[in-house]
Chain A
Amino acid sequence: MTLQIADKVFHSRLLTGTGKFSSAEIMAKTIKASGSELVTVALKRTDLQQKNDNILSHLKPLGVQLLPNTSGARTAKEAIFAAQLGREALGTQWVKLEIHPDPKYLMPDPIETLLAAEQLCALGFVVLPYCSADPVLCKRLEQVGCAAVMPLGAAIGSNQGLTTRSMLEIIIEQAMVPVIVDAGIGAPSHATLAMEMGADAVLVNTALAVSPNPISMGKAFKQAVEAGFTAYQAGLGAKSIHSQASSPLTGFLSGVST
């Protein structure tokens, strides 16, 4: 089953970031192995002295939709400026809105994020906000026109998994736009869990990039996301504190003397 965000349809429910890879070649091969079709990039000031390798030359052959982020922005004003730069640099209206003023925890600022989201939506951007796993905030972001919401599973790059699980469950239950669990997903099992819970997609970066074998890990995440989504569609069985026998207890051995 495909994933639709705004007017675009994706066959993969795994979004990937491009940061922290040991080389652009490994990054590109990992994205290809992961099957990801929506890929984030950041922006920086051009170093005029250094003719560095352009990341786009590695991403364009993959045919993926690029999603510029606003990383580095500390306020709504800075994020709007960054979004405009991303639109010019990459020729896309899509933006991953992220505003985290504190470099230690990188927690998204909910107030500035909502302010920026409202203005960017009004300017015609397709806004995917990275945000706290706050059901009220996610609803407000949806109401101002965001194309999806991206609540965090745990702190960025922490690999802790879904520490916000109970809040994510509420967000998923009430969302009318796709819910993409972003940040904290450190293992394929975390991605599977998010999908089993009914998330529409997950975004993974660090877990891929820091693996000793990112390309294999990309494949593992692809399978994990597909497994979790298929399981969600199939429907999980109810939990019980008692044992429920899987084999019929017919008593066919009763009366047998030992």
Chain B
Amino acid sequence: MRIKLNNEIVEIESSFTLQILLDKYQISETGLAAAINDTVIPHSSWASTTLSEHDEITLFQAIAGG
């Protein structure tokens, strides 16, 4: 199925959880926040959150700022 990851369309298996997606893309979890369809998903729920077709996953991280 297709989802969007930070505005890029990617093809994943339907059994994917958010955690599996992050692992597959080797995304560092340090200072990372994730949202699905503009809802923030707590870190503790990443492994139990199954992704659905057309989900829009957005990842954020800390950067320098005032």
**A, B assembled together:** yes
Number of B positions contacting A (CB below 8 A): 26
CB within 8 Å for A48 and B65 given contacts A88-B43, A89-B33: no
Interface residues on A, range: 35 or more
A44-60 vs B, Cβ < 8 Å mask (1 yes, 0 no) = 11111000001111000
> With the chains together, A45 CA to B32 CA distance in Å?
10
Which residues, 217 to 254 on A, are CB-close (under 8 Å) to B? Answer: none
* B interface: dominant SS: strand
CB within 8 Å for A19 and B62 given contacts A54-B28, A84-B40: no
A84-97 vs B, Cβ < 8 Å mask (1 yes, 0 no) = 11111110000000
* A interface: dominant SS: mixed
Query: Are A69's CB and B65's CB within 8 A?
Result: yes
CB within 8 Å for A88 and B63 given contacts A45-B58, A48-B6, A56-B30: no
Specify which chain B residues have a CB less than 8 angstroms from the CB of A48 in the assembled complex: 5-6, 8, 25, 27, 59
B18-36 vs A, Cβ < 8 Å mask (1 yes, 0 no) = 0000000101101111110
> With the chains together, A46 CA to B22 CA distance in Å?
12
CB within 8 Å for A89 and B65 given contacts A56-B31, A81-B40: no
Query: Are A43's CB and B58's CB within 8 A?
Result: no
Cβ-neighbour of A17 out of B8, B25, B66 (below 8 A): B66
A-B pairs with the 9 shortest C-beta distances?
Answer: A42-B65, A17-B66, A205-B66, A88-B33, A89-B33, A85-B33, A46-B59, A18-B64, A84-B40
Residues of chain A having any CB pair with chain B under 8 Å? 17-21, 24, 27, 40-48, 54-57, 66, 68-69, 71, 81, 84-90, 156-157, 203, 205-206
